[in-house]
């Protein structure tokens, strides 16, 4: 019975992602990458809490974990699922090669060619027990990659339907496909500085009330 219940809940989330369901509260959510050296224990829990500190670049000749992360979502309704695609140089021994993929979700529904270049995935969590609640960034899964020549590893809309979406814990979904600026990140290896849709941390100068009043004199 528990397995059936879990499957039915997941089906509701999937239906929200796969259809024009009612919009939720995650219109500002981001799907991005975080690049780090391979992590030995509990990788899914080892991404930064603040998405602005995500690492989005690396160097040629190294091996990395590249985490697919969701951030800037509603901390009240959370995230129970997402769909996205991935793209990179698909030639073996050139650019990025994906050696392995591991999900951090409860269920995944990948395209047959996943995790090849220009393929897609749909990942869900059971809303009643594992919904991603809270303001911090979290991992949906991670690639173990080798970088042989300069390349870009990019989050793209899921190729099968052309959409990148997140679904909240009430199975309401938000389409992130055509956001401007883009809500989908990429990581550069020897080609540039990458793109973090959360931006970067910018120091804020402390202001006193007297200083603020002085601006209006």
> Distance between CA atoms of 122 and 164, rounded to whole angstroms?
10
| Residue pLDDT, tens place only, 152-203 | 999 999 999 999 999 999 999 999 999 999 999 999 999 999 999 999 654 4
Dihedral pair phi/psi, residue 65, rounded to 5°: -95, 130
How confident is the prediction for the chain on average, in pLDDT?
87
**Class of residue 213 by CB neighbours under 10 A (exposed 0-12, middle 13-18, buried 19+):** exposed
| pTM of the full structure | 0.84
Q: For 18-34, what is the mean pLDDT? A: 82
pLDDT score recorded for residue 134:
86
High-pLDDT (> 90) share of the chain, %? 76
- The rounded distance, in Å, linking the Cα atoms of 123 and 141 is 9
The pLDDT value recorded for residue 208 is: 38
Mean pLDDT of 87-104: 98
Q: Provide the pLDDT for residue 214.
A: 38
Asked if the model's pLDDT at residue 64 lies above 80, the reply is yes
Statement: residue 114 has pLDDT above 60? yes
Mean pLDDT value of segment 24-40:
95
Confidence check: pLDDT of 209 > 80:
no
Rama region for 3: left / alpha / beta (φ>0; ψ in -120 to 50; rest): alpha
pLDDT digits (tens, 9 = 90+) for 117-135: 999 999 999 988 899 988 8
Mean pLDDT of all residues in 5-27? 60
Return the pLDDT at 24.
Answer: 81
We find that the CATH architecture of domain 2-191 is Sandwich (2.60)
- In sequence order, the β-bridge partners of residue 187 are 153
| Strands 81-87 vs 119-124: parallel, antiparallel or unpaired | antiparallel
Which whole number is the average pLDDT over 48-62?
A: 97
Rounded Cα distance between 193 and 185, Å, is: 12
**pLDDT at 13 > cutoff 70:** no
Q: How confident is the model at residue 71 (pLDDT cuts 50, 70, 90)?
A: very high
> Are 59 and 190 spatial neighbours (Cβ–Cβ below 8 Å)?
yes
pLDDT of 54: 98
């Amino acid at each position: 019975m528990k397995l059936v219940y879990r499957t039915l809940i997941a089906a509701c989330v999937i239906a929200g992602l796969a259809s024009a369901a009612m919009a939720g509260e995650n219109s500002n959510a981001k799907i991005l990458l975080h690049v780090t050296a391979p992590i030995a224990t509990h990788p899914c829990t080892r991404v930064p809490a603040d998405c602005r500190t995500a690492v989005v670049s690396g160097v040629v000749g190294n091996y990395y974990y590249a985490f697919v992360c969701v951030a800037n979502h509603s901390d009240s309704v959370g995230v129970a699922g997402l769909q996205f695609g991935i793209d990179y140089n698909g030639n073996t021994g050139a650019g990025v090669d994906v050696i392995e993929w591991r999900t951090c979700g409860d269920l995944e529904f990948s395209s047959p060619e996943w995790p090849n270049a220009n393929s897609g995935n749909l990942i869900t969590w059971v809303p009643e027990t594992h919904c991603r609640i809270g303001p911090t960034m979290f991992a949906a899964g991670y690639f173990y990659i080798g970088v042989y020549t300069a390349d870009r590893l990019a989050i793209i809309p899921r190729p099968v339907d052309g959409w990148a979406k997140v679904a909240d814990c009430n199975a309401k979904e938000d389409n992130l496909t055509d956001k401007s600026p883009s809500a989908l990140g990429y990581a550069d290896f020897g080609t540039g500085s990458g793109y973090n849709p959360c931006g970067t941390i910018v120091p804020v100068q402390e202001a006193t009330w007297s200083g603020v009043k002085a601006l209006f004199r």
